[in-house]
Structure 1
Amino acid sequence: MAINKSSFTALSPKNLRLVLAHHPALATSFQAMAHVILFKCAVPERQREIAIIRTGALTRSEYEWGMHVSIFGEKCGLDAAQVDALSRCPSWQELSESMWTPAERLIVRMVDELHHHCTLSDATWGLMDAQWPREQIIELILAASFYHMAAFFLNSTAVPLEQGSQRFPAGMAQAAVPA
């Protein structure tokens, strides 16, 4: 998968803002929460983006996935092979130990558990507690949770993809209700 480098600086969530404009009060709150998660948290950017990109892939939210891969992927050192693994790997257990640090694999484990079970196992919580300060654990959980909610909104309202945003790799498709 080639990463579209031309979109890094010019890409803006214009289409998302246009859809959110239908409810200004919620739009303000949505954007405020996204701003805190993206720019005010202590968790390192790479770790945050691993959580968000994995969430976008699991929820099959091409808008969310594409914007985060385009804007933050290369900036936080995620290469095309890592983005592909985050997007296609069926389980955190199958992520290559040579490609990912134990902490990064733990983030994917957290996202997978939240997505599939809506909670974390005691084992995952214990490993996270040993890895990060409590504040950063909360940040990681809320990043995955917020972007899970955002994916529901983006998918359900069919926010058009932004010009220049990355598209899902071949074989991945936007979420849809089966006919």
Structure 2
Amino acid sequence: MTRIAPLTPPYPPGIEDALRRWMAPHVAHDPLVLFRVLHRHAELASRMRVLGAGLLAHGELPAADRELVIARTCARSGCEYEWGVHAVVFPELTADELAATVHDGADAPVWSPRQRALVGAVDDLHDTATVSPARWAELAAHLPDTQLLEFLVLTGWYRTISGLANALALPPEPWAARFGDNADHAG
């Protein structure tokens, strides 16, 4: 059970529309538990949505890079909830890549040099709250300054979302992927 109960239908006026705006247009599932909990504080949820939606729908990072960064950030943060939602809703990564975000390091053979740089930089940020000079040079060889900035904000945002979901003790969405899926990939 979550530490703060999510809203349940029927929703207060305006909340139904607000919850639908949080969901990706192609998703037919009910609004996520995370969103329904956040709407206990509708003003805060509204402010958070602007950044979250901007990163998902209007970013410069290619979708596969974005989802790799999100998956690795969530995996390193132990946030199966958000990792599993993105694995299903934004299927940009292969099953082997998804499994590697949970079970392998930046040196996994599944990664291209660009992906290796992204995964390694996420790991640096997770472990030290900075990116080492060597890793920054590796990342900068693949991304222009605008994408470097977006990478940093995206990683920080999903670290925040992971902490929020973990602290709220959110149960996985019933339809979401689980860390154990593809566990046989672990090397």
Band the TM-score falls in, shorter-chain normalisation: 0.7 to 0.9
- 2:106 paired residue among 66, 70, 92: 92
Equivalent-residue separation in structure 2 for 1:149 and 1:124 (angstroms): 22
Counterpart for residue 159 of structure 2: 148
Identity %: 31
Number of residues paired by the alignment?
158
Q: Which amino acid aligns with 1:15?
A: V
Taking structure 2 as the reference length, what is the TM-score of the superposition? 0.78
Q: What's the offset of the Cα at 1:170?
A: 6.3
Q: 1:148 to 1:51 in 2, by over 3 A?
A: same
Counterpart for residue 30 of structure 1: 48
Shift >3 Å, 4+ stretches:
none
Counterpart for residue 137 of structure 2: 126
Aligned residues of 1:70 and 1:165 also touching (Cα < 8 A): yes
Structure 1, unmatched stretches of 5+, are 1-7, 173-179
Aligned residues of 2:69 and 2:122 also touching (Cα < 8 A): yes
Q: 1:128 to 1:12 in 2, by over 3 A?
A: farther
Counterpart for residue 17 of structure 1: 35
Q: What's the offset of the Cα at 1:10?
A: 2.5
Report matched runs for 1:1-179 at 5 Å.
9-11=27-29, 13-73=31-91, 76=92, 78-89=93-104, 91-93=105-107, 95-96=108-109, 99-169=110-180
Q: 1:118 to 1:12 in 2, by over 3 A?
A: farther
Equivalent-residue separation in structure 2 for 1:135 and 1:62 (angstroms): 29
Residue range with higher mean Cα deviation, 44-53 or 30-39: 30-39
Taking structure 1 as the reference length, what is the TM-score of the superposition? 0.82
Aligned residues of 1:109 and 1:124 also touching (Cα < 8 A): yes
Q: What's the offset of the Cα at 1:14?
A: 2.4
Task: Deviation per CA, 1:8-54: give whole Å up to 9, x if none.
Answer: 84245421111101222221121111101101111100001000001
Q: 1:123 to 1:13 in 2, by over 3 A?
A: farther
Aligned residues of 1:11 and 1:162 also touching (Cα < 8 A): no
Equivalent-residue separation in structure 1 for 2:65 and 2:181 (angstroms): 25
Residue range with higher mean Cα deviation, 10-19 or 24-33: 10-19
Equivalent-residue separation in structure 2 for 1:153 and 1:62 (angstroms): 12
Aligned residues of 2:80 and 2:179 also touching (Cα < 8 A): yes
SS at match of 2:90: helix
Structure with more relative contact order (C-alpha pairs < 8 Å, separation 6 or more): 1
